[in-house]
Amino acid sequence: MNYEHYLLPEEASKYLRVSLSTVNELMKRNELAASNDGAIWMISRSDLEDFADCIGEREELPD
């Protein structure tokens, strides 16, 4: 897995301008695709950008 193409839920919440609990709920309902590497959940940049385009809200992604 290429980790530079993934964000932590905390980073995704900043990008989407929503709370961390909202991101966790979106992942739980499979509305936002995420995968885990052991105990760490990660969201792919492309999935996050696609989701943000659908809701029309986002910040710039961190490099």
CA angle 36–37–43, rounded 5-degree value: 45
Please give the pLDDT value at position 29.
96
Domain 3-55 is found in CATH 2.60.60: no
Mean pLDDT by 10 residues, the chain (63 residues): 84 93 96 91 94 75 58
Please give the pLDDT value at position 12.
95
Please give the pLDDT value at position 2.
65
Number of residues assigned to the chain: 63
Contact 45, 61 (CB under 8 A): yes
Contact 16, 51 (CB under 8 A): yes
**What letter represents residue 11's amino acid?**
E
Please give the pLDDT value at position 63.
56
